[in-house]
């Protein structure tokens, strides 16, 4: 039979899954806004970020309440503390989607991304979307096999990030410094978002196995 405490833990997990869903949706729309110079979608991503912030805030308070009420020890305490950290990662990922949308908005009605980088940004968008979807499923299922796969997906993000710099540094680059700055920051936002998602998956790995996934600081 389930007790109230385990219902509380399930509800925490559900909120983390919900947050990851919102973050994935935000990143997907931020990529669309960026590639299609869609001001309306950019504004939506920016204003929806407060929903993710509010969920983060509420979840933190809820977890503190559970800790105070239930006085968990050992594994249960670790789950709650780790959930606070996952919530912080997800909140930050929402900020990074917001940052990408803000670049789209700043350059509107122009497109921030020059033609030779459209494919790279599309791929970064696809990879981060995949990583966030897998992270969400890892939070839900606690499937550590998927958690480990994320390291490979993150290698792909790193490869795309390097490819972006190669394009910026090519002699044929004709879009000037401003666009290079935009693309440098955007590349960093995608890469950091993927890092945070991988960090969430590693935290699940740690909860399930009691060991750190390789590469974990």
Sites of contact with a copy of itself (CB under 8 A) = 53, 57, 60, 64, 67-68, 71, 73-74, 77-78, 81, 84-85, 88, 91, 165, 168-169, 173, 177-178, 180-181, 184-185, 188, 217
Q: Of 55 and 130, which CB lies nearer to a copy of itself in the complex structure?
A: 55
Pick the closest to residue 203 from 29, 11, 20, 41 (CA basis).
20
* Residue 201, CA distances (Å) to 10, 13, 17, 55, 103 in order: 17, 13, 12, 19, 28
User: Using CA atoms, how far apart are residues 9 and 176, in angstroms rounded to an integer?
Assistant: 51
The answer to whether residues 150 and 135 touch, using CB atoms and an 8 Å cutoff, is yes
Q: Of 106 and 141, which CB lies nearer to a copy of itself in the complex structure?
A: 106
Before 109, cis peptide (omega within 30)? Answer: yes
CB of 80 to a copy of itself, least distance (A): 9
CB of 148 to a copy of itself, least distance (A): 21
Q: Of 58 and 141, which CB lies nearer to a copy of itself in the complex structure?
A: 58
The answer to whether residues 43 and 59 touch, using CB atoms and an 8 Å cutoff, is no
Residues with Cβ within 8 Å of 28's Cβ and at least 6 positions away in sequence, in order, are: 125, 129
Q: Of 184 and 209, which CB lies nearer to a copy of itself in the complex structure?
A: 184
CB of 183 to a copy of itself, least distance (A): 9
CB of 127 to a copy of itself, least distance (A): 21
Pick the closest to residue 98 from 192, 4, 195, 7 (CA basis).
192
Q: Of 11 and 181, which CB lies nearer to a copy of itself in the complex structure?
A: 181
The 10 Å Cβ neighbour count of residue 21 is 14
Q: Of 26 and 130, which CB lies nearer to a copy of itself in the complex structure?
A: 26
CB of 130 to a copy of itself, least distance (A): 25
CB of 180 to a copy of itself, least distance (A): 5
């Amino acid at each position: 039979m389930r007790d109230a405490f385990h219902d509380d833990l399930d509800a925490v997990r559900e909120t983390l899954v919900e947050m990851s869903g919102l973050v994935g949706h935000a990143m997907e729309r931020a990529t669309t806004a960026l590639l299609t110079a869609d001001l309306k979608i950019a504004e939506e991503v920016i204003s929806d970020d407060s929903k993710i912030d509010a969920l983060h805030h509420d979840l933190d308070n809820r977890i503190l309440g559970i800790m105070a009420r239930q006085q968990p020890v050992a594994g249960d305490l670790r789950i709650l503390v780790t959930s606070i950290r996952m919530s912080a990662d997800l909140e930050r990922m929402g900020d990074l989607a917001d940052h990408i949308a803000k670049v789209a908005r700043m350059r509107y009605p122009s497109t921030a991304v020059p033609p030779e980088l459209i494919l790279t940004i599309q791929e970064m968008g696809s990879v981060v979307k995949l990583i966030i979807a897998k992270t969400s499923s890892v939070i839900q299922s606690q499937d550590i096999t998927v958690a480990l796969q994320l390291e490979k997906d993150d290698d792909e993000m790193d490869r795309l990030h390097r490819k972006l710099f190669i394009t910026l540094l090519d002699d044929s680059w004709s879009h000037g410094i401003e666009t290079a700055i935009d693309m440098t920051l955007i590349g960093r936002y995608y890469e950091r978002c993927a890092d945070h998602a991988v960090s969430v998956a590693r935290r699940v790995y740690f909860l399930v196995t009691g060991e750190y996934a390789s590469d974990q600081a």
